[in-house]
Amino acid sequence: MAAHEDCYWMSADGLKLHYRLYAGDTGLPPVLCFPGLTRNARDYDALAARLAGRRQVIAVEFRGRGRSDYAKDPMTYVPATYVADVQALLAERNIARFVAIGTSLGGIVTMLLAQAGAGIAAALLNDVGPEIDPAGVTRIRGYVGKGSSCPTWMHAARTLQEGNADVYPDWGIEEWLAMAKRVYRLNSSGRIVLDYDLKIAEPFRTPGNETGADMWAALSALRDVPVLIVRGGRSDVLAQPVAERMRAALDRAELVTLPGVGHAPTLAEAALHDPIDRLLDQAKA
């Protein structure tokens, strides 16, 4: 685990929200990492470790995930609220410009932040775009919000492997154990459970709550900044034609497809080191 500080900020509706702060060059725009729907800041530990010292990295945990408070109203588990929460963090830390890295839901939040006028110096959209493949939405709705309790970390790893073998077909048990440590937590009863509020599924069950109203317009707000589009070659969320349209719609976009990976790449893949470094090199001020 990379060295980091656990920090908190408050949402407008009084929730204490958590992020990991990894130290780096404060003279450069920091990197803000936004995780997927059921994920948390731990997903970005490997990336933060690789960037250690070069950039300050802030790995955000949306409300209802990890160490962030669970929402009193589950209908606030929607992208518009996550955007408002991040805007509160940007204001508290006085961040005028930053590099946004968003996986799945985090990419949707990135596009909506750009549309809202956030000072995004560069962006990485990880396996998500303005259009989400219906097959992926159906699959996600099939598991989100369903509790999973395991007696050991090995049981948790095997559970993840059974449900996601087609996403990471080349992984061995060590990779699945590492993912289990990112996805699950140990509860007070000694059981290993999913590390998010199961009620995040409630608004997601309603069509239209997955994104914003016009995501192509949101994407266009990134037209003038460097953008790295990452797509898993086996993705059922970001279709290749949509990824190609995204690249065509942006002036400074690079598209990298990782064969043999589904939704979503971990961003720790060796094939992404150079593309991510190129993106950061374009966000110097």
Residue 147 has pLDDT above 90, yes or no: no
Residue 208 has pLDDT above 90, yes or no: no
* Structure confidence at residue 211 (pLDDT): 61
pTM, entire model: 0.96
The phi and psi torsions of 100 (rounded to 5 degrees) equal -100, 130
Q: Which domains does the chain have, with CATH numbers?
A: 5-135+211-281 (3.40.50.1820)
CB 215 within 8 A of CB 188: no
For residue 7, give the nearest of 28, 32, 27 by alpha carbon.
32
* Structure confidence at residue 67 (pLDDT): 98
pLDDT tens by residue, 38-59: 999 999 999 999 998 899 999 9
* Structure confidence at residue 285 (pLDDT): 67
CB 219 within 8 A of CB 86: no
* Structure confidence at residue 210 (pLDDT): 60
* Structure confidence at residue 1 (pLDDT): 76
* Structure confidence at residue 14 (pLDDT): 97
pLDDT tens by residue, 73-102: 999 999 999 999 999 999 999 999 999 999
